[in-house]
A = this chain, B = another copy of it.
């Protein structure tokens, strides 16, 4: 049910349409949860039926409307109670680790190339997370601005730092993986 909580977290900051949410979760935005359209629309319907979010019809031109969802009191309680307790870790399912565990079955040169692509991808992920961290610290992202507009100005710096810290962690993990992959390349060369 993490998609549900990811949606509630975003909608807390800013009411959005299904279309906006699909774009938000398409995985290309430096966001921390990726979900396809085929999951988002059914989940929004279920959440509306459960009373966690409410849809408002909003005019879009003379004849068109769109539904904009916002979090209800019940949704807010569901989110904050989920946030406040520890949950079991997600089960391990990293395809790359399956690949690395079987590197002894392919020529070393191929494995080195696979690691090289992994390094490039992780370096990109680290750089993106660091850029996002910096935008958050400067309070520049649209979502953070909207969230802060409803919070005590005294808390703004702390909130920005807490959110930035999440992306700092994503970057640190990616940098750790880069170091690991480089050591793997050295092992393959032995």
Interface residues of A (CB under 8 A from B): 2, 5-6, 9, 12, 27, 31-35, 79-80, 82-87, 89-107, 110-111, 113-114, 116-118, 121, 125, 151, 155, 158-159, 161-163, 165-166, 168-170, 172-173, 176-177, 179-181, 183-184, 187-188, 190
Contacts and interface: CB of A to CB of B under 8 A. Distances in A.
Chain multiplicity (copies): 2
18 contacts: A2-B93, A6-B98, A31-B92, A32-B92, A32-B98, A83-B114, A84-B107, A86-B113, A90-B96, A100-B166, A100-B169, A101-B163, A101-B166, A104-B158, A104-B159, A172-B179, A173-B173, A173-B176
Contact of A98 (B33, B116, B170): B33
A99 B114 contact: no
Contact of A84 (B5, B83, B100, B110): B110
Given A83-B103, A104-B155, A158-B104, A97 B172 contact: no
B177 A161 contact: no
